Chains A and B, each alone.
Chain A
């Protein structure tokens, strides 16, 4: 068996009674939170991690069968919670991680006190009156871009990026390492991400949650944030001024403010 904290390259900072776990989205790693997470360190225990197969996680722990659904990834989060002990976790998730968080919260609702969804989408395609914003051609185009651009990845670099969690500076020195994930794993993760349909699960989540919605987000357009808020029993929606899909990078202060006010509001 694997030591969960090593397997998921878990980093723990800050001090506080309560714990915030930040879950990164598809195609990146925990560094994506570097301008948001530190802002919470004076009041909370702040936990960052890489999903198995991403960042500096232990690649040997990658099991294609397990990670062929978002539930497999949800297990990473649940394992980390169990390992840290206690409950009342606050889980902040970006993009695809939002539905992973939904899965985790449905499996073990008692573990979570609050959930924050940054740019969520339960389903990316159109279906009846629902319009996820993308069609198959768009996704094929995206997959083609990914196939053509395994940024910074080559099997020569792989050991440097993946194999030295104790020396993260090696990864940082490599060009584009932030997006450098094993192509085979990334392709599988992309498929799982884009073909999952979590719409029917949203109404089942009773944990209090917040949705942060950007403008001009091609992956999670404004009406999708509204859909999430409307279909979850206990979700509030906040529209950000930030544009694009990654507000925690483009407008970290706005994201920090929104999360803080949601957490203070009891």
Chain B
């Protein structure tokens, strides 16, 4: 997808002036300070004690923007408590990897305002008592160089900032995998518990969150929790970055208050190109929703729940009515099965089987008994991996069977109603290999 970015208009359609993407100043630190103000100063904290910023973040209601939407202040407090209990200084990790193929928000944020992300990393590290913050991006991505140039501009930060580049694999950005990579150089998920917040990088309590979360922290430190709560859905307030793709006139990243309706978000992306049937919400571990049911629902955790959707990592990919949702799902599931690290049997073999079932279904070759087997597989895989990768793929696949129920019936009799022969959802190019053995050097 293209990565055009437009600031949200200041009036009409409920949009507000953007917080994170507004003053795009790039790596120039002087311009950044002029636009956002200097880095707020904080006192050094004792191990096991939280700086005032942690309470401010908790009061703000900020929730993790990587997909989990877990309360960020609560996570920071858990890290601080674990640091006190284990007598180990915590570590801070910023996830700027953007593993979601349909997302571009982290790279757009890093490109436009890298110092917001870095400010947030420094401030959060100080507040939980970490001597260092690691910022991790996909190896070979534009973000690595941008972050390195931005860090080179900064002097006198109270904590050390280090930029790392990790293998460009989907599950390498799962939190236990990322902590594993930062500590040991191996980007593979590990068995939990212990969870990352209590024992992550080199067994230290680790505060790990998405790059966008840290950018919000940088602004909460400057403007306060009350300001943060002025917009958005009250349970998870603030603005969010949404990567809009598919059947819209201007695919790209928009910044909107949480809980903005899908209709308004699509409007900010130039509107839809023709009639739309359904949309992917959250990402490829998220869920399909039917456009008719979801178009006027708030794009938020609570708003999308009634139709099974999730805001996730802010992905909104729109499917036109002339495309086949089952074909699209089959392509995504095949790629996601190939992204399994292959460490856990139910993920390695289960996702491969689901992928094959979906390929048959998409091609109109699956019989009714085969559909039963697919449904049974979707029922037994979730919760049986070390990480949530298989759960996400199953949720995505199961939502397709539900949203495209009529099309499933057509495909069972060898027909397909789609007119289009080009694909809509972005799936990374290259041969997709299913994991054939335990993972090796490619994860370092």
A and B interact physically: no
Task: List the interface of chain A (C-beta within 8 A of B).
Answer: none
